Structure 1
Amino acid sequence: MSWLERFAAMVTSHSRSVIALMLVLTVIAGAGAGMIDQSSSLDQFQSDTAESEKLNYIEENFSTGANNTTTAQVIVKGENTLTQESLLETLRLQQSFRENETINRTLADEQPTVGAANLVAISSITGDQQRELEATAAEFEQLNATVQEERAALEQRQSELNATQQDLRAALDTLRADQSTSPRAQFETVRANSSVELDETQYATFNESAQLLRTADNESQIETAYQRGTQGVLADEYEDLEQRSTDLAAQSDRLAELGSQLEAQQAALENATSPTLQEQIDAIDAMNATAYERTLETVLGENSSGQMSGQAFMPTSYDAGSTSSNATMLLVTHQTDGGSGGQGGMASDELVDAQLAMQSLANDGVDGDTSDVIVFGGGIMGEEINNSMGDSLAIVGPLALLFVVVALIVAYRDLLDILLGLFGIAVVLVWTFGFMGWADIDFNQMFIAVPVLLIGLSIDYAIHIFMRHREQRQNGGAYGDDDARGSMRVALAGVGIALVLVTATTAIGFLSNLTSPVPPIQDFGIVSAVGITAALLVFGVLIPALKVELDGFLENRGFDRNKRAFGTGGGRFSQVLSTGSTAARRIPIVIILVAVLVSAGGAYGATQVDTSFNQEDFIAEDPPEWTNNLPGPLEPGEYSMKENLEFVNENFVREDSQAQILVEGNVTDPETLQQLSDAENETADSDVAVTLSSGEANIQSPLGTMQQVAAENESFNATVAAADSDDDGIPDRNIEQVYDELFEVAPDEAAGVIHQTDDGDYEAVRMVVSTSGTAAMSDVTTEMRSIADGIDGNGVEATATGQTILFDIVQGQLMDTVIESLLITLVAVFAFLMIAYRITEGSATLGAVTLLPVVFSVSWILGTMYLLGIPFNVMTGMITSLTVGLGVAYSIHMSERYSLELKRTGSVWEAMSRTVTGTGGALLGSAATTVGGFGVLAFAILPPLQQFGIITGLTIIYAFLASVLVLPSLLVVWTKYLGPDVSFDAPSRSGGPAASDGGQAIQDRTEK
C-alpha cells in the first residue's frame, strides 16, 4: 500500500479525530486574523535602491519646510474665480475651516491657509498702511528737518548774543577804567563787531549803564550797571530767543510723537502679512472696483515677485495680470505630529477626517451656481483608496460566492455538497488571513484578489475530490468500495497525487514572486502559497472527513447519497468535452501546429505590453450607475479623486510632483556652482519641468536661493557680488564664506538647499524641480538622470531621486518581476514535474508534455493583454507566474488521470475518453467556478483589480482549453513515441467503470 493510500485510509477511518484536529487548528490560525493592519501607502511598493536611500538622506538632512506638516490643495473652479465676490467666498471658506473643530485641530500654527485671496487682502491692507506710513514719515522728516534747522539757528543766535554780551561788558570795563572814553565810541565798536543788530534804544540803555557805572559807590550799583549794560541791552533778543526755544521744545515733542507713531506703523506693516481672516474679508469688502483691480494687478501682475506674488496659486495657463481665471488654488497646511501626510504614505485618521470635513464644507461654502471646489490631499486620497478597497471587497466577495454557488448547483445538484464546499472555502480564508495576522503582513490593495483567488482554487479541489468520489460510488461496486468511506478512500488515493502536484506547482508559481524586489508582491506570493497549501489540507483532509461522516449519517437514515459525476452521463457536455480526444485521434499534429502558431503570435504581442505603476492606478473611478441599485451595504460610495487628480495635473503644480538632484562631495568648489547653474538652465528647457504662469520653471536650488536672499538683503548682496569676480551672477570664489553668510541671514532658506553638518562643514546641496503631472515617469527619470550626469564628476556625486523616479523604478521592477518569475516558475515547475513523473509514472518526459500546454497559455494571455491594451502593473505583473501556477493544475489532472486510465485499460482511446469525460468534466466545473470567481473582479472599484480579474479569468479559460483541446494530442503523440506499449485500436463501445481505482491496474478487464 502506497503512502497516499495509507493517508486516505487514515482520513476516512479516523474521520472524527481528523475533524476535531482540523477545527482546533482552524481556531488557532483564525486568531491571527484580528491582528491584520490595513495599508494603502504606495511607499510599501518601494524597494531598497540607491535612489530611495538618497531620498531618505534628503528628508533627514534638508529642511523641506515646516517640520511635520503636509499640505492639501483646495481648487476653486468657475467661470471667473478672480471676482471680488469669489475671493470673499474663498476667504469665508477658510474661515469656516478654522472654525470647524475637526479641521482646526490639524491646522498648522503659522499661516494654515493661504491663497490668492489672502495676498490680495494683505496687499490692500499693507497698501493702506504703507500710504499712512509714508505720510507719517514725510511729516516726520519735514518736522525733523525744521527742528534740526531751528535748533542750529537757536544755538547760533545764543552764541551771537553771548559774544555781543561779552563785548558790551568789555566796553563797560573800558569806560569804567577811562573816564574820558566816549560811550558812543565803545558802543559803535561793539556794534561794528557784532552780528546782532543794535539800535539807538539799545545805545541809550548802554549809555545809562555807563553813566551809572562811573558814578557807582558800591558793588551792588556796579553789578546793576553791568547787568543793565549787557543783558539789559539785549533783553528783547534774549526774550525772543526764549520764545523760539519754547516753540522748538513743542516741535520736538511733536517730533517724538511722530517717531512713536512711525514705529507703531512700521511694526503694524511688518505684522500685516498675517492679519486675521476677518480683517482680510473686511479689507476686500471695503475696496472699490478701481482699488480692487489695482491690487489684483499688484499681486498677479508680471512684476509681482517674492512672497506677495500670487502666481503660484494660479493655473499654469494663467496670463499674468489678467483679472479672469477659471480656477485658483488655496493651500491648507496640516500639522501631522510626525506622521505621514498621506501623499506617499498613510494619512492619520485625524488628517483624513479633517480633509473630508474640508470637502464637505467646500461643497457648501462657495456659490454652487458659479463655482465648484475640490479638495486634493493625501488624507482624502488615502480615504478613497481605502474605501475603494472595502467597496471592491463588498461587491466582488458576494458576487464571487454567488457565482460559485450557482456553478456548484449546476455541477453538484446537491445541497450538502454545496454547503461543504462553501464551508471549506471559509476555513481556507480563515487560515490564510490568520497567517497574515501572525506573520504581520498588512492588507493592501493587492490582497483584495486573495479571497477571490482562494475561492476559485479551493473550489477546484472540492470539485475534483467530489466528482472522483461520485465516479467511484457509481462504479465502485466492482471493487467493493461502494460505501461513502470506501469510495472516498479510493477517490483520495486516485486524485491525491494530482492534488499534491497541483498544490506544489501552484505554490511554486506564487513563490516565484519572492524574486521580485517589490515587497507587496513578495508578500502576495507568500500569502497565496500559504492559502493554496491551506486549500489542499482543508479539502484533502477536513472536507473529505466531514463528507464521509455526513453521508454516512444520512444514508443510515435512508437518504440516497449516490450522485452522478458531472460530465460522465453522456449528453451535450460529454460531447463537447470529447472534442479534444476526437481531434487527438484524427489530427493530433495539426492541433499541435495550430497551437504553436497561435502561441507565436501571442509571444510577439507579449513583447509589446507596457508596464505601469502610477498613483492613478490605485485611485478608483466613479462607480457605474448600476452600482446605485445594489443593496445598501454593497452600494459603493462616490469617487472623485481620479477626476480631480487629472484636473490638478493638467492645470496646477502638484505639491507632491517633484524630482530632486542630490549633489554630494566638494560642494564648496566654484566649479560645482557652475555645474548647478548649467543644470538649472537645462532643466528650465526640459519638457518634464512644469512651467508656471510666469513662464518660468519652478526650481529650488542654492543659486536661486542666493539670488532671492541677495535681492532682499544688502549685506548678503555685497557678499555675493564680492564672490563673483566675472559678474556672471555665479559666485566663483569664497563659496564657503557665501554659504556661511547665507545661513546667518536666511537660515531656513539655506537649510532647504544646503546641508551643513554639526561641525559647520558643507556636505551636500540639492536641486528641487517641480515636474509636470502629465509627464511620463520614464521621461522624468531619463531627463533628471541626464541632468544629474552633467553634474557628476569633479569631486561631486549627483543622484536623481524623488517620488516620481522611485515609482518609475518600481515600474521597471515590475517588468523584471514578469520575466524573472516566469523563467523561475517554468524552470522550477518543469524540473518538479519531470522528477515527480519520473518517480510516480516512470517517465520524466510526461512532465514536460504536461507543462507544454501551459507554456502555450502564457503566450496566449500575454498576446491578449497586448490586444486589450492592459499593461503590467502590480497585479497583472504576476500573471505569467499565475498562469503557470494555475494552468498547470488542469494539465496535471488530465495527465494524471490519463496515466491512471492507461494503466487500467491498456487502450489509448479508452483512457483518453474516460479522461476527457471524467476529469474533463471536473475541470469544466472547476474552470467555470474559477473564471466566475476571478471574473467578478471586473466589477471591482480599483482599476488594477478589474484588469487582474479579466486577465486571470481568461488565463483559466486558456488553461482549460489547452488542457482539453491541445493536451490530448500531445499525450497521444507522447504515448506513441515515448510512452508505454499500449493499444491504439479503435475504442471499445462496451461499458465499463469510468472511475479510477487509485492506480490499481485491472487485468483482463474485457474481451477485445
Structure 2
Amino acid sequence: MISVDTLLETADSWIVDRPKTVVAIFLVLSVGFAGGLGNVSTDSGTSQFAEGIPAQEAFEEVNEQFVADPFAGDTGNTQVIYKSQNVLSKPSLLQLLTLQERIEAREDLRVSGQSSVATIIAQRLDPEATTIAAQQRAIESATPATLDRTIQQAAQTPGFTGLVSNDFNSQAASASATIASVQHNIPGGLSSSAGATGDSPLTSIQLTVEDVAQNTKGDFTVFGSGIISAELANVIGDSMAIVVPAAALLILIFLTFSYRDPVDLLLGIISLAMALLWTFGFMGLAGIAFSQMLIAVPVLLLAVGIDFGIHTVNRYREERVQDVAIRPAMRTATDQLLIAFFIVTGTTVIGFSANLISDLGPIRDFGMVAGIGMIFTFLIFGVFLPSLKILLDNLRQRLNIPSFGGAPIGSGDSYLIRFLMIGNWFAKRTPKAFLALVLVSSVAVGAYGTGVDTSFSNEDFLPPEENPDYVEALPEPFAPGEYTVTRTLNYLEDNFEASQGSSLTIYIEGPLRQADTLQQIHRASADPPPAVVSNNRRAQPDSIVSVITSRVEQDPEFARIVNQNDLNSDGIPDQNLERVYNYLLSSSSRSQALNYITEDYRSTRVVYSTEADATQGEITADGKELASKFRLDATATGQTLVFAAVSDVILSSAVQSLAAALAVTAVFLIAIYWVLERRPSLGLVNLVPILVTVVYIAGSMRFFGIPFNALTGTVLSIAVGLGIDYSAHIVHRFAEEYESADDIHQALERTVRGTGGALAGSMLTTTTGTGILALAITPVLGQFGLIIALAVFFSFLASVLITPSVAVLWEQATHRLS
C-alpha cells in the first residue's frame, strides 16, 4: 500500500524539481479544454427543471391529447394585449382586426387560428363572417346602437369577460384593454429545440408577431412563452456581463491586498482564469448547456481558487521570511498544503456532488460541473501554481527584480490577529460554557430556520419590472437589453380576471357518451374552492360544455339538437351525447371542440381560471378537491401544479443533499484523519463548525425572506463544501502544530496566527466575489449570492471562533479515553 509520505514525495518531485515540465503539461491541457469552449450552449427557462417530474409528464400528455390535427405537429399560442381609450369602440375593433389580418397574411407565422373580442362581436353581428375581411365588413356596417347591444349580449358568453380588462362596463360597452389569441402550427419536434441562444421556432414566431404589431397602428403588446424564453436567455448573458467584471474588479482589489505583490497577483489571476477555462471547456466537451443554475459555478470556483492561492503564497512566505531557499520553502509549503487542499477538495466535491441525487436535471448538472471544476481547481492551485511560482521567483533572482509585500498575512500583532485570537481566549478560559452558548443559539436559530419557504415559478428567473438605477446607468457593453415580460405579467395580473398561465386543468377519462357526463362538468362548477375564479359562487371553466353553449348561440340547427336532448331545460344535453359531439366535430367548431375532447370520446379536459393571489399549494389542494367532484376518473394537472411539484422536489432535494453531504463528509473526514494522523476523531472536530454554519444559513434565509428555489435549494450542500474549506485548514494545521507544541493552547495560537490570517484574506475576497451576484438582473441570483457570501462568512467565523474550544474538549476527551 502506497503511503501518504510517498505520494507527497512524488508530488514534490514534480512540483519542485520539474516545474517547467509541470507548467508545460498544464498549458497543453489548457489548449485542449479551450477547444470545448465553442461547443458551450445555453439553456434557459423553467421547462428544464420539470423534465422527468410526473406532474409535468401528465401535463404534456394532456396537451398532446387535445390537438385538432394530430399530424399538424406542435402548437403554440401568442397573446396580443391591446390597449386604447375604449377597445370595444368601432375604430378600435377594426384596428384589432387589421392586426389579425396582417398576422394571418404572414405564412411564416403558421397561423392555425385566431380569437379576439372583435371576432366574437363580428360573428354575433353576422354568424357567416368566418373570414377577417367579412368580420371587418360586419363591424363597419353596424350602427352604434347595434354594436353596443351586440357587445352587451356577447358579455353573457362564457369566456368573453376574461378577454377584456377588469374595468369592462357592459352597459357602456367599454373597456381599456383586451387580449387576442393567435394559434400557430409548428413542425413536429421543432418547438422544443433550441439553439445556442436559447431560441426556438415559437420564440422566432412571437418576435415576428411583435414586429408586425409594432408596425400596426395601435398600442399592442405581444406576449407568450417564446418571448419569456428569449428574455430568460438574454438575462443570463446580461447578468454575466454585469457580474463578472464587477466581481473581477473587487476580487482584483482584495487580491492586491492579500498578495501585495504584482507578480504573485498575476500568478493568482492566471490560475483562476485557467480553472474557469478548464471547467467551461469540460462543459463544451461533455455537451452540458450553460443554464441559470451554472452561473453560480464560476463564482464558487473563484471562491475556492482564491482561498487555495492565498494559502499557497502565504505558507510559502512563512518559510521565505526565515531565509529558506525557494525550492525548500515551496517543498515545505506543498507538503503541508497538498494534504489540506486534498481534504478541502474531497469534502467540497462531496458537498457539490451531493446534488447528483436530486430528481431535477439542472441541479444534477450543477453538482457534476461544480464537482469537476473543484477537482480542476485543486490540480491548478495545488500543482500548477507552486510550479509557476518557483519559475517566476527563480527568474526574479536572476534578473534582480525586487519582491513586494513578502510578509505573510496576519504576522505581528495587528487588529486582525487580536480579533482572530478571540476564539483562543474562550478556549483557554471557558470552552464548555462557550460551546454551550453556541449549542443553545444554534438550536434556536435552527428551529427558526425550519420555517423557510419553498418557491418555483417563471418569475424566479425573470428580471424585475424596473431595473435599478445603477443598471440603467451602465454604459455599453455592460448595459442590459430592455425587458418587458415582468411588466406584462404584472399588468395582466392587475387588469384581468386571471393572469395568463394561472389555470387549473382537470383531465377526465372515461365513457364520455355516458348520459350524465356533461352534467358532471356543469355541476362541478358550482361552489368552487377559493383558489378558482368564480362569479356568484359559480366557476366558468373552458370545456366542451362552453363550446356547446357557444355553438348553440350561433347555430339554430345545433340549438335544436341540444334542446331535444336537454331533459331538464338547463341548456346541458342529458342524452344522445354522441350525436351532439358528432355535430360539433363536423362543424366549423371542430378545432375548438378538439381542444377539450378527443375524437374517440374517451377523454376530456376542463380548464379553470385561478385567482391571481392563490398560492401554488392552494391551487394544488383545490385542484384535487375539484377532481374529487367527478364520478369519472379525473386528475388535476396544469403548469401551476407542475411548479408546485418541482417546488416539493426542490425542498426534498435540499434536505436529501444536505444529509448526504454531511454523512459522506463525516465518513471522509474520519477516514482521512485516521490515515494522516491516526486520530479519526479529528474529523468530528472538523465537522462541528460546518453544522453551526448550516444552521445559521437556514435561519438567515428565513430572516431575509429568501426561499428554497431552483438555485438556493443547493445552498445547504454547497455550504458544507465551502465551509469545510475553512475548518479543514484550521484543523489540519492544528494537527501538525499539536505534535511539536508545548501544549494545546500554543498549538492553537500557532494555528490561528499562521492560518487565520490567510483565511481572513480568503473570506474577504470570497464574500465580496460571491456577494457581487446581488448585482445580477435576476433576483434569484442576488439571493444566491447573498446566501453564499453569508455561508462563507459564517464558515470563517465558526472556524476561528468555535474550533479552538472544540479542539480543547477533543483533547480532554481523548486523554480520558486513553
**TM-score relative to the length of structure 1:** 0.74
Spell out the pairing of 1:382-401 with structure 2 (5 A cutoff): 382-401=229-248
Residue number in structure 1 paired with 2:492: 648
Q: Indicate which of 130, 133, 151 corresponds to 1:276.
A: 133
| 1:81 CA drift (Å) | 3.9
- Asked if 1:294 corresponds to 2:139, the answer is no
SS in structure 2 of the partner of residue 660 of structure 1: strand
In 1, are the aligned partners of 2:463 and 2:777 still within 8 Å (CA)?
A: yes
In 2, are the aligned partners of 1:4 and 1:493 still within 8 Å (CA)?
A: yes
Distance, in Å, in 2 between the alignment partners of 1:83 and 1:720 is 34
| 1:58 CA drift (Å) | 1.9
SS in structure 2 of the partner of residue 790 of structure 1: coil
Residue number in structure 1 paired with 2:358: 516
Residue number in structure 2 paired with 1:256: none
In 2, are the aligned partners of 1:618 and 1:942 still within 8 Å (CA)?
A: yes
Q: Indicate which of 510, 526, 536 corresponds to 2:378.
A: 536
- Closer, same or farther in 2 for the Cα pair 1:105/1:754, shift >3 Å? closer
In 1, are the aligned partners of 2:190 and 2:200 still within 8 Å (CA)?
A: no
Q: Indicate which of 66, 73, 97 corresponds to 1:62.
A: 66
| 1:636 CA drift (Å) | 1.7
Q: Indicate which of 483, 489, 499 corresponds to 1:639.
A: 483
- Closer, same or farther in 2 for the Cα pair 1:333/1:754, shift >3 Å? closer
- Closer, same or farther in 2 for the Cα pair 1:8/1:296, shift >3 Å? farther
Residue number in structure 1 paired with 2:289: 442
Output the amino acid matched with 1:446: M
| 1:122 CA drift (Å) | 6.5
In 1, are the aligned partners of 2:251 and 2:769 still within 8 Å (CA)?
A: yes
SS in structure 2 of the partner of residue 681 of structure 1: coil
Residue number in structure 1 paired with 2:395: 553
Distance, in Å, in 2 between the alignment partners of 1:578 and 1:497 is 25
- Closer, same or farther in 2 for the Cα pair 1:561/1:490, shift >3 Å? farther
Output the amino acid matched with 1:748: S
| 1:382 CA drift (Å) | 1.9
Q: Indicate which of 411, 433, 438 corresponds to 1:590.
A: 433
Output the amino acid matched with 2:421: S
Residue number in structure 2 paired with 1:9: 13
In 2, are the aligned partners of 1:107 and 1:333 still within 8 Å (CA)?
A: no
In 2, are the aligned partners of 1:598 and 1:860 still within 8 Å (CA)?
A: no
Distance, in Å, in 1 between the alignment partners of 2:512 and 2:138 is 47
Deviations 1:238-284 (A, max 9, x none): xxxxxxxxxxxxxxxxxxxxxxxxxxxxxxx73x332439x83x876
- Closer, same or farther in 2 for the Cα pair 1:944/1:342, shift >3 Å? farther
Output the amino acid matched with 1:439: A
| 1:936 CA drift (Å) | 0.4
Output the amino acid matched with 2:462: I
| 1:69 CA drift (Å) | 3.7
Q: Indicate which of 619, 623, 634 corresponds to 2:467.
A: 623
SS in structure 2 of the partner of residue 75 of structure 1: strand
Q: Indicate which of 410, 425, 430 corresponds to 2:257.
A: 410
| 1:486 CA drift (Å) | 1.9
SS in structure 1 of the partner of residue 717 of structure 2: helix
- Closer, same or farther in 2 for the Cα pair 1:731/1:691, shift >3 Å? closer
| 1:763 CA drift (Å) | 3.5
Percent same amino acid at aligned positions?
Answer: 35
Residue number in structure 2 paired with 1:319: 169
- Asked if 1:580 corresponds to 2:415, the answer is no
- Asked if 1:821 corresponds to 2:660, the answer is no
Distance, in Å, in 2 between the alignment partners of 1:352 and 1:709 is 33
In 2, are the aligned partners of 1:689 and 1:698 still within 8 Å (CA)?
A: no
Distance, in Å, in 1 between the alignment partners of 2:526 and 2:595 is 20
In 1, are the aligned partners of 2:427 and 2:804 still within 8 Å (CA)?
A: yes
Task: Name whichever of 733-742 and 634-643 sits farther off.
Answer: 733-742
Q: Indicate which of 302, 316, 321 corresponds to 1:469.
A: 316
SS in structure 1 of the partner of residue 801 of structure 2: helix
- Asked if 1:862 corresponds to 2:705, the answer is no
SS in structure 2 of the partner of residue 752 of structure 1: coil
In 1, are the aligned partners of 2:45 and 2:233 still within 8 Å (CA)?
A: no
Distance, in Å, in 2 between the alignment partners of 1:511 and 1:504 is 10
Residue number in structure 2 paired with 1:429: 276
- Closer, same or farther in 2 for the Cα pair 1:779/1:349, shift >3 Å? same
Residue number in structure 2 paired with 1:605: 448
SS in structure 2 of the partner of residue 633 of structure 1: coil
Residue number in structure 2 paired with 1:241: none
Distance, in Å, in 2 between the alignment partners of 1:771 and 1:304 is 20
| 1:609 CA drift (Å) | 0.8
Spell out the pairing of 1:589-988 with structure 2 (5 A cutoff): 589-621=432-464, 622-652=466-496, 653-670=498-515, 674-681=519-526, 685-691=528-534, 697-709=539-551, 739-740=581-582, 742-745=584-587, 747-756=590-599, 762-791=601-630, 796-978=632-814
- Closer, same or farther in 2 for the Cα pair 1:703/1:352, shift >3 Å? closer
In 1, are the aligned partners of 2:492 and 2:500 still within 8 Å (CA)?
A: no
Distance, in Å, in 2 between the alignment partners of 1:930 and 1:36 is 26
Output the amino acid matched with 1:663: I
How many pairs are equivalent? 807
| 1:645 CA drift (Å) | 0.4
* Structure showing greater Rg: 1
Distance, in Å, in 1 between the alignment partners of 2:124 and 2:580 is 33
- Closer, same or farther in 2 for the Cα pair 1:688/1:929, shift >3 Å? same
SS in structure 1 of the partner of residue 178 of structure 2: strand
Distance, in Å, in 1 between the alignment partners of 2:320 and 2:82 is 72
Residue number in structure 2 paired with 1:76: 82
In 2, are the aligned partners of 1:512 and 1:821 still within 8 Å (CA)?
A: yes
- Asked if 1:330 corresponds to 2:166, the answer is no
SS in structure 2 of the partner of residue 699 of structure 1: coil
Task: Name whichever of 332-341 and 847-856 sits farther off.
Answer: 332-341
| 1:572 CA drift (Å) | 2.1
Residue number in structure 2 paired with 1:453: 300
| 1:679 CA drift (Å) | 2.8
Output the amino acid matched with 1:425: L
Deviations 1:700-758 (A, max 9, x none): 3344444544565566666656666666666565555655555445543443333345x
SS in structure 1 of the partner of residue 437 of structure 2: helix
| 1:59 CA drift (Å) | 2.7
- Closer, same or farther in 2 for the Cα pair 1:109/1:974, shift >3 Å? closer
Task: Name whichever of 429-438 and 807-816 sits farther off.
Answer: 429-438
In 1, are the aligned partners of 2:206 and 2:227 still within 8 Å (CA)?
A: yes
Q: Indicate which of 330, 334, 344 corresponds to 1:488.
A: 330
- Closer, same or farther in 2 for the Cα pair 1:318/1:97, shift >3 Å? same
Distance, in Å, in 2 between the alignment partners of 1:748 and 1:74 is 21
- Closer, same or farther in 2 for the Cα pair 1:799/1:351, shift >3 Å? closer
In 2, are the aligned partners of 1:339 and 1:347 still within 8 Å (CA)?
A: no
SS in structure 2 of the partner of residue 72 of structure 1: strand
Q: Which runs of 5+ in 2 are unaligned?
A: none
Distance, in Å, in 1 between the alignment partners of 2:604 and 2:207 is 38
Deviations 1:904-939 (A, max 9, x none): 224212211111121111111111111011110000
SS in structure 1 of the partner of residue 26 of structure 2: helix
Q: Which runs of 5+ in 1 are unaligned?
A: 127-268, 983-1008
| 1:526 CA drift (Å) | 0.7
- Closer, same or farther in 2 for the Cα pair 1:960/1:609, shift >3 Å? same
- Asked if 1:377 corresponds to 2:216, the answer is no
| 1:48 CA drift (Å) | 2.2
In 2, are the aligned partners of 1:35 and 1:437 still within 8 Å (CA)?
A: yes
Deviations 1:3-53 (A, max 9, x none): 223312322211111112112222222222211221113111014243233
**TM-score relative to the length of structure 2:** 0.91
SS in structure 2 of the partner of residue 506 of structure 1: helix
Task: Name whichever of 537-546 and 62-71 sits farther off.
Answer: 62-71
- Asked if 1:42 corresponds to 2:46, the answer is yes
